[in-house]
Structure 1
Amino acid sequence: MTDTTLFDLLERLSSLTRIWFRQHPLLTELQPIQLSALMYLARCNHYSNTPLGVTDYLGLTKGTVSQSLKALEAKALIVKIQDARDKRSVHLQLTDAARRLLAALLPPAFLAEGEARMGERGTQLEMLLGELLREVQRSADVPSFGLCRSCRFHQQIDNKPFCGLTKEPLAPADAALICREHQTCEVDV
């Protein structure tokens, strides 16, 4: 039998996180998938804040995600904005209410406190888990949804961020956002 210690630890942390969210008073009206969609939309860039981006990131069916997005819109937590160039596409933006909700929830207190108590080892753990995630994504050949600044297409032109894939300048804050077009560099940034 293979050692399952790492899996057991990650599964238990995931379970504790789900329990914490389920018991949080601010989340009584929100389904877990809706919270996951909000968390993704809070971290993704303008190339990725579409219904398809949410679907791909969460790995769920279009129908499931569509119903969840409709519920979030009905709760005034997201708004749909028509794409300026492609009138068939919509972008999803968080409302101020959604941003306040996420600010009150993230990171979960138990996790932040545990990491803080670990000191420098908490920083090392974060780095190692990031490395593990990249290795799993590479070996499973799944989209990385990584941060713009770590993408092989991310460039600096005149000391400003630029996307080599779309050939568009980026806002400085975009470098810290998740992109569905992300492709890992040979050497991680």
Structure 2
Amino acid sequence: MTDAASGHAENIVARIGRLSRLARERQFGAGLNPAQWEALRYLGRANRFSRSPGALAAYLGTTKGTASQTVIALEGKGLLHRVQCARDRRVIELELTDQGRALLDRDPLGEILRAAESLDPLTAALLADGLDRLLDGLLRIGEDRRFGLCDDCAKFGACAVTDDRTLGGFCEATGEIVDAEDQRGLCANFRAD
């Protein structure tokens, strides 16, 4: 690695560290901690195939026990509840309550979102691409699971119209039809290649 590349890498790490600290300090509002906010955000974006306690633990990068404690705390605050999966009664799904969704609308990371929205389109696209590459590299090194959207998944095939309704597509990983709403959600079964 050249000195210039090394200098850029160090600057990237320093900026990500600073952004992390700024994001973390903003997340101690509304009686929640950063892990609880992250769980709310994940469940607010996850599709129906990815709202299990195990998928939440994988996304948060924690043990199932730690994720379970986060779920218990959020459930106790009335922000989510557990329901049996209609497709498989052995599976528990986590769903945000109306109160949880309302709180998520006041997400303290909204300040960061507004700052990102103020970037010009080219800068935003380049930054998003660079961060995706950095994330992919980190996930490969740590052998962590990647979460993504159906449109970017190797296991997703788009469908047209069936039974007079438009479907999002078919997921080879789950063997199920994915409706348009779930297609826009984060998926724990995501495969980039």
Give the TM-score category using the shorter length: 0.7 to 0.9
Structure 2 residue corresponding to 1:143, chosen from 142, 145, 148: 145
Contact 2:150 2:184 in 1 (8 A): yes
Letter of the structure 2 residue corresponding to residue 41 of structure 1: L
Change (3 A) 1:150 1:37: same
Question: Normalising to structure 2: TM-score of the pair?
Answer: 0.84
Aligned residue-pair number: 180
Identify the residue that residue 170 of structure 1 maps to in structure 2.
178
Structure 2 residue corresponding to 1:88, chosen from 90, 98, 108: 90
| Matching of residues 24-35 of structure 1 within 5 Å | 27-35=29-37
Contact 2:150 2:190 in 1 (8 A): yes
Change (3 A) 1:116 1:45: closer
Identity value in percent: 32
- TM-superposed CA distance for 1:118, in Å, is 2.6
Instruction: Structure 1: give runs of 5+ residues left out of the alignment.
Output: none
Match of 1:169, SS state, is: strand
Offset from partner CA, 1:102-143 (integer Å, 9 cap, x none): 11216522x233323331212321232123222332343321
| Matching of residues 16-165 of structure 1 within 5 Å | 16-22=22-28, 27-105=29-107, 107-109=109-111, 111-120=112-121, 121-158=123-160, 160=167, 161-165=169-173
Instruction: Structure 2: give runs of 5+ residues left out of the alignment.
Output: 162-166
Offset from partner CA, 1:124-183 (integer Å, 9 cap, x none): 212321232223323433211111221101101235311122221111121221111111
Identify the residue that residue 12 of structure 2 maps to in structure 1.
6
Question: Normalising to structure 1: TM-score of the pair?
Answer: 0.86
Match of 2:105, SS state, is: helix
- TM-superposed CA distance for 1:84, in Å, is 2.3
Change (3 A) 1:94 1:87: same
Distance 1:92 1:53 in 2: 10
Match of 2:118, SS state, is: helix
